[in-house]
Chains A and B, each alone.
Chain A
Amino acid sequence: MKRVMVLNRGEIANRIISSIKSMGLLAIAVYSDPDRNSLAVKSADLSYPLGGESSTESYLNLEKIREAIQATKADAVHPGYGFLSERSDLIELCDELDVVFIGPGKEAILKMGDKIESKQLMEKGGVPVVPGFFMDGLTPEKIVEKVEEIGLPVMVKAAAGGGGKGMRKVDQLKDLQSDIESCQREAKNSFGDERIFIEKYIENPRHIEIQVFGDSHGNIMHLNERECSIQRRNQKIVEEAPSCVLSSQKREEMGKAAILAAQLVSYQSAGTVEFIYTPEDEFYFLEMNTRLQVEHPVTEESLGVDLVQEQIRVARGEELSFQDLVPEAHSMECRLYAEAPLENYQPSCGKILKLVWPRSRDWLRIDTGVEEGDEVTPFYDPMIAKVITKGKTRVQAIERMIQALEELVLFGVTTNQGFLLHLLRQPAFQEGRLSTHFLDQHGVLEGYRNRLASAQDEGLATGLAGCFLASRTSGSLHNSPYSIQGLNAGKKEQS
């Protein structure tokens, strides 16, 4: 393996390229038209245009990718996350072209890709899953009986559902029938599949996932957990490792369950087994992501490892090199998104007029794919960067995150920077009282809005005035050589 192609864009392409290069291999980037001057293209040794603007025309276009692999003589591909990372047809293409796919085998991807089948497989294999049942062929009486067995509240879910669609929470038995019917209608209309299942509703769950790693020699290990409970619109925005709620005994239990899950599909490479974690310290299998995860850096920083390098080694047929990993630090990641939290987290686009990263430190890592002057386009995911800190303790990791985010300057595109800072300062967050409903439960968004609205900020008003004065006195600002004598405030005469 000498020439590794990265089938992705943005921060993850950049991050993978740096690991490829650090191993002395040739890194090949592919890019769509809007990404032609991206950081990933600049940092790769070689790049190949896929053409097109949308993902479908470019990063998801298997024909273009075939062409790119052949033209650049790539002998391995790394899919990153998203795009084609969990698509078996990419693996088929790699097999056909005799190119190494850096990731799991096709069978594992297919088995874990189907949410219902994977759950059944896990249940049979002994991995704990959320108590529940399929409604198919059951009489209404039998359904009620089973629901009583599980205990209310329950969730009625469309088998084909996702993203919060086709889901109903049922609190009372008398609503069960009508909720099932409306869920069926919604499922039929949205997904063309009216199959329904019912499962236990978990109040205040946490999302805790276990990083696993397998090689081609049958070794599978786990690399501890990541706590990813802070989510907006079902998407993670803050992740950390370790989780402050897990005892070492629980960690071992979950690690074992995750390894078992991976073994059931003979998993190779890096993967993540996601669990729901209840306030009663029970955990249930949710799904397995058969790829590198967005939030993998907190595992890397906490344990001091490079997961991408290990993926490459394992793909070359080597045995797992990780041994006796001991957490070195508490690590936290914040996802900086081009989005307007106050407008329902709507993605924003535009040109990044100014971008100043926080000063570099040994406890700070920034994974990004953009630089000043870049355009945030509507074509792809609006993530600008992942800001990753580590500290001896969780408190220190948070303090450092606040420090880093306060230092970061970005103008031109609305981001969630201020919102993240507001979130990090919530006492409940700092105390580690997390759940996937954290933002709603603690009214974080409303609190943020109120704080901004009530801020009769003297600093801001004077800043605005100062900004105006600066524009009048700074010749270079508008290439104007004229300084206004009477308004020559603030600027110390420099002659």
Chain B
Amino acid sequence: MIDLEFEQISPLKSDSFRLRLRRMDEHTSYSLQLMKDEEESSVAGRSYDFQIDLSDSNELMEIRSTEFNERIFYQIDDDGRTFYLQLRGESYVFRRVLSYDLDSGSQDASSAVLAPMPGRILKVCVESGQDVEMDQELFVMESMKMESSLKAGRDGIVEAVEVCEGDLVQADQILLKYKEEQNG
């Protein structure tokens, strides 16, 4: 399950809203909930089937569900947080709201540790299968010529480490995945 928080920048500015994305089967089916003001909106709980065609370009995706069939142009800015989408001739800009702080470097109850900002991974301190405790150092990262330590935001078991030492990462890129909990 992934919780994402966004705000719309253009054409209208909006308060932030959350998308909860849960994978339903092995491949392309997701359930998506859109939450504004903590209340679930009309798309709550519905299932959507994403077909993201990335085969020849990185800019067009096709989304299909029983309700609609849309071709959406998109682009993600180099900061990894600004999302441009174009749907039926209208361009939208969204910015992802990152809800964790730099020191902890991860979200409580999240299934992954994301890079808080663009930079380079200097050190990987854990490996897959390893038990980690809250506040345990996971990575050392360099960004804007400053070193910072990314620590575990919770206890858990590392399912996979997604980066190697020396890698350049984008803001929000997944660095590490926790094993899904039973209730996850």
- A interface residues (Cβ-Cβ under 8 A, vs B): 340-342, 353-354, 356, 402, 405-412, 414-415, 417-418, 421, 449, 452-453, 456-474, 476-480, 482, 484-487, 489-492, 494
Of all chain B residues, the one with the shortest Cβ separation from A402 is B89
Q: For chain A, what secondary structure do more than half of its interface residues adopt (helix, strand, loop), or is it mixed?
A: helix
The reply to whether B163 and A463 contact each other, CB–CB distance below 8 Å, is no
Q: Which chain A residues border B168 with CB–CB below 8 Å?
A: 479
Q: Which chain B residues border A418 with CB–CB below 8 Å?
A: 11, 89-91
CB distance from B37 to the nearest CB of A (A): 13
Contacts A489-B23, A490-B28 given: A412-B52 contact, CB under 8 Å?
no
CB distance from A84 to the nearest CB of B (A): 35
Q: How far is the CA of A468 from the CA of B76 in the complex (A)?
A: 9
CB distance from B178 to the nearest CB of A (A): 10
Of all chain B residues, the one with the shortest Cβ separation from A479 is B168
> Hey, what's the 0/1 contact readout for B23-51 against A, CB within 8 Å counting as 1?
10001101010100000011100101011
The reply to whether A466 and B50 contact each other, CB–CB distance below 8 Å, is yes
Q: How far is the CA of A491 from the CA of B50 in the complex (A)?
A: 9
16 contacts between A and B (CB under 8 A): A354-B73, A409-B59, A418-B91, A421-B88, A458-B43, A459-B63, A460-B92, A461-B32, A463-B70, A465-B48, A467-B76, A471-B76, A474-B54, A476-B58, A480-B173, A486-B177
The reply to whether B63 and A421 contact each other, CB–CB distance below 8 Å, is no
User: 10 tightest A-B contacts by CB?
Assistant: A490-B52, A418-B90, A411-B84, A406-B89, A463-B72, A459-B70, A490-B50, A478-B170, A409-B73, A467-B74
Q: Which chain A residues border B12 with CB–CB below 8 Å?
A: 342, 449, 452-453
Q: Which chain A residues border B140 with CB–CB below 8 Å?
A: none
The reply to whether B86 and A409 contact each other, CB–CB distance below 8 Å, is yes
CB distance from B10 to the nearest CB of A (A): 5
Q: How far is the CA of A476 from the CA of B159 in the complex (A)?
A: 24
Contacts A411-B75, A418-B90, A456-B41 given: A461-B160 contact, CB under 8 Å?
no
The reply to whether A490 and B61 contact each other, CB–CB distance below 8 Å, is yes
Q: For chain B, what secondary structure do more than half of its interface residues adopt (helix, strand, loop), or is it mixed?
A: strand
The reply to whether B85 and A464 contact each other, CB–CB distance below 8 Å, is yes
Interface check B21, CB cutoff 8 A = yes
Q: How far is the CA of A341 from the CA of B74 in the complex (A)?
A: 22
The reply to whether A412 and B19 contact each other, CB–CB distance below 8 Å, is no
Contacts A463-B63, A484-B162 given: A471-B80 contact, CB under 8 Å?
yes
The reply to whether B11 and A340 contact each other, CB–CB distance below 8 Å, is yes
Q: How far is the CA of A471 from the CA of B174 in the complex (A)?
A: 11
Interface check B130, CB cutoff 8 A = no
Q: How far is the CA of A474 from the CA of B56 in the complex (A)?
A: 11
Interface check B55, CB cutoff 8 A = yes
CB distance from A35 to the nearest CB of B (A): 25
Q: How far is the CA of A457 from the CA of B6 in the complex (A)?
A: 14
Interface centre among B11, B41, B96 (most CB of A within 10 A): B11
Partner of B34, one of A449, A461, A479: A461
Q: Which chain A residues border B109 with CB–CB below 8 Å?
A: none
Q: How far is the CA of A468 from the CA of B94 in the complex (A)?
A: 11
Q: A486-B177, A490-B50 are in contact. List 19 more A-B contacts (CB 8 A).
A: A410-B86, A417-B89, A452-B11, A458-B43, A458-B67, A459-B88, A461-B32, A462-B48, A463-B63, A464-B83, A464-B94, A466-B52, A468-B96, A470-B61, A473-B54, A478-B173, A479-B168, A480-B173, A491-B52
Partner of B58, one of A415, A449, A474: A474
Q: Which chain A residues border B63 with CB–CB below 8 Å?
A: 459, 462-463, 466
CB distance from A117 to the nearest CB of B (A): 44
The reply to whether A465 and B173 contact each other, CB–CB distance below 8 Å, is no
Contacts A461-B19, A491-B54 given: A466-B61 contact, CB under 8 Å?
yes
Of all chain B residues, the one with the shortest Cβ separation from A492 is B55
Q: Which chain A residues border B125 with CB–CB below 8 Å?
A: none
The reply to whether B4 and A465 contact each other, CB–CB distance below 8 Å, is yes
Q: How far is the CA of A459 from the CA of B23 in the complex (A)?
A: 18
Q: Which chain B residues border A461 with CB–CB below 8 Å?
A: 19, 32, 34, 43
The reply to whether B75 and A480 contact each other, CB–CB distance below 8 Å, is no
CB distance from A40 to the nearest CB of B (A): 25
Q: Which chain A residues border B90 with CB–CB below 8 Å?
A: 417-418, 421, 452
